């Protein structure tokens, strides 16, 4: 029997990326939908062969506890709603897959981790890039010494017009629902990416937010940049914005070469180039025929595979919380104009 997911929230990411990805899953299937819009849930349920008895609203969601078709709940809601739904899902005795950013505060992240432990269920964060063959190729090149010692990483994640057209209503622009602007939505890829590309966690953060007088950005930031300092002497520089041309680019520089990922964190067409003494070697997705499974399906399959093997998932709650701690530190550094220490007593050892 395939592992059953209930998807909570039928917005753009759920409808366009996650629901279609179940078709390519080998271990997972879609078994239930949870939505605030019953008509939409029925329409999409019909499309994916979900019976009416497996459609839930946000208020009757807790009844999912009695549904044996559902092994895990996949939360694809506005960021500030992740924590409560995760806690409810754990209370219902289900595993949880939760979209990034894990939550909008460190306290909420801890609440989610604690609820998972109490329920003895797995918590995984939807870091799809961890299942992208190009990302994994880049990580293995970096770890193999192909560019020597990684010393500088630059990450830029911008999305022009990322839902910024309706400033009065869109949750991404409403602090209470998003927890912040482009950093929470896009910059998180660079924060997480700097950590996996440098294979290290920063010990200090500095940051700057560009002033923006547009009413669209009255609650959350548009352009933000940050720097991480690593114990190794390495530096990361990151940027994110909602108003510059859509980019997802990482550049990792070592003493023997450079790894350029452009795009670095896209849905389909990521590419990595190794640049060394005038030579450029490039890998792109179509070359990875053995890894033909797309990153979304691979991510969905990873949770049941880990549960069956009894191994920890790749993107744990602790991993998601580390990023949220760094996101909060970036905001603190930007608002105070001061460096913020981020050396949290070897958090990896707590996993
Ligand atoms: P969206 O606005 O398209 O969808 C959000 C859904 O939540 C909608 O169906 C909306 O009706 C529902 N919702 C429930 N309560 C709501 C409330 N109080 N206010 C507003 N909407 C409410 O957003 P999205 O792009 O699908 O993003 C959802 C989550 O997925 C976010 O956490 C986002 O960061 C994440 N996401 C991840 C990726 C990725 O590549 N991993 C990509 C896009 C989005």
Question: What's residue 142's pLDDT?
Answer: 96
pLDDT over threshold 90, residue 320: yes
Q: Which tens digit of pLDDT belongs to each residue from 134-147?
A: 999 999 999 999 99
- Closest residue to atom 8 of ligand 1, CA basis: 11
Distance separating alpha carbons of residues 115 and 89, to the nearest angstrom: 9
**Which pLDDT band, with edges at 50, 70 and 90, does 268 fall under?**
confident
- Closest residue to atom 10 of ligand 1, CA basis: 11
pLDDT over threshold 50, residue 27: yes
**Which pLDDT band, with edges at 50, 70 and 90, does 277 fall under?**
confident
Nearest alpha-carbon partner for 328 in 170, 219, 188? 188
Question: How wide is the angle at C-alpha 283 spanned by C-alphas 281 and 285, nearest 5°?
Answer: 165
pLDDT over threshold 60, residue 64: yes
Q: Give the mean model confidence (pLDDT) for residues 243-261.
A: 95
pTM for this structure?
0.95
Share of the chain above pLDDT 90, in %: 83
Question: What's residue 288's pLDDT?
Answer: 41
Residue 77 Cα to ligand 1 midpoint, Å, equals 4
pLDDT over threshold 80, residue 152: yes
Q: What is the mean pLDDT of the chain?
A: 92
Q: Give the mean model confidence (pLDDT) for residues 339-344.
A: 92
Share of the chain above pLDDT 70, in %: 92
Active site residue 100: yes
- Closest residue to atom 17 of ligand 1, CA basis: 78
**Which pLDDT band, with edges at 50, 70 and 90, does 247 fall under?**
very high
Active site residue 56: no
Which one of 74, 94, 100, 137 is the catalytic residue?
100
Distance separating alpha carbons of residues 239 and 12, to the nearest angstrom: 24
- Tell me which of 164 and 211 has the higher pLDDT: 211
For residue 253, list its beta bridge partners. 152, 258
Q: Give the mean model confidence (pLDDT) for residues 143-157.
A: 96
State both tokens at 225: 């940049």
Q: Ligand 1 pocket by C-beta < 6 Å: which residues? A: 9-14, 36, 76-79, 81, 99-100, 126, 128, 171, 177, 185
**Which pLDDT band, with edges at 50, 70 and 90, does 163 fall under?**
low
Distance separating alpha carbons of residues 193 and 264, to the nearest angstrom: 9
Distance separating alpha carbons of residues 123 and 118, to the nearest angstrom: 12
Nearest alpha-carbon partner for 39 in 57, 23, 22, 25? 57
């Amino acid at each position: 029997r395939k592992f059953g997911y209930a998807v909570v929230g039928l917005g753009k990411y759920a409808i366009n990326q996650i629901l279609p990805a179940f078709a390519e899953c080998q271990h997972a299937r879609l078994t239930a939908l949870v939505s605030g819009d019953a008509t939409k849930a029925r329409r999409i349920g019909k499309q994916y062969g979900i019976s009416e008895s497996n459609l839930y609203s946000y208020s009757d969601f807790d009844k999912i506890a009695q549904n044996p078709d559902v092994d895990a709940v996949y939360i694809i809601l506005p960021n500030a709603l992740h924590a409560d739904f995760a806690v409810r899902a754990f209370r219902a005795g289900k595993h949880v897959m939760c979209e990034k950013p894990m939550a909008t505060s460190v306290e909420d992240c801890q609440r989610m981790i604690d609820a998972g432990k109490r329920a003895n269920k797995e918590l995984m964060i939807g870091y799809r890039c961890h299942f992208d063959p190009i990302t994994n190729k880049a990580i293995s090149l970096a770890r193999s010494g192909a560019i020597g010692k990684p010393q500088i990483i630059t990450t830029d994640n911008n999305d022009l017009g990322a839902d910024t057209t309706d400033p009065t209503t869109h949750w991404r622009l409403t602090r209470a629902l998003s927890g912040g602007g482009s950093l929470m939505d896009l910059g998180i890829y660079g924060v997480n990416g700097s950590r996996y590309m440098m294979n290290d966690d920063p010990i200090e953060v500095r940051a700057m937010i560009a002033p923006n007088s547009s009413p669209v950005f009255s609650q959350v930031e548009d352009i933000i940049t940050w720097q991480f300092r690593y114990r190794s002497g390495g530096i990361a520089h990151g940027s994110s914005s909602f108003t510059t041309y859509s980019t997802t680019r990482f550049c990792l520089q070592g003493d023997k070469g450079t790894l350029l990922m452009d795009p670095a964190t896209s849905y389909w067409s990521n590419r990595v180039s190794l640049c060394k003494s005038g030579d450029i070697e490039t890998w792109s997705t179509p070359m990875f025929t053995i890894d033909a499974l797309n990153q979304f399906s691979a991510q969905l399959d990873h949770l049941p595979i880990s549960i069956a093997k009894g191994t920890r998932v790749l993107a744990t709650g602790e991993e998601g919380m580390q990023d949220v701690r760094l996101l909060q530190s970036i905001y603190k550094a930007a608002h105070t104009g001061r460096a913020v220490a981020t050396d949290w007593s070897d958090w990896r050892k707590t996993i």
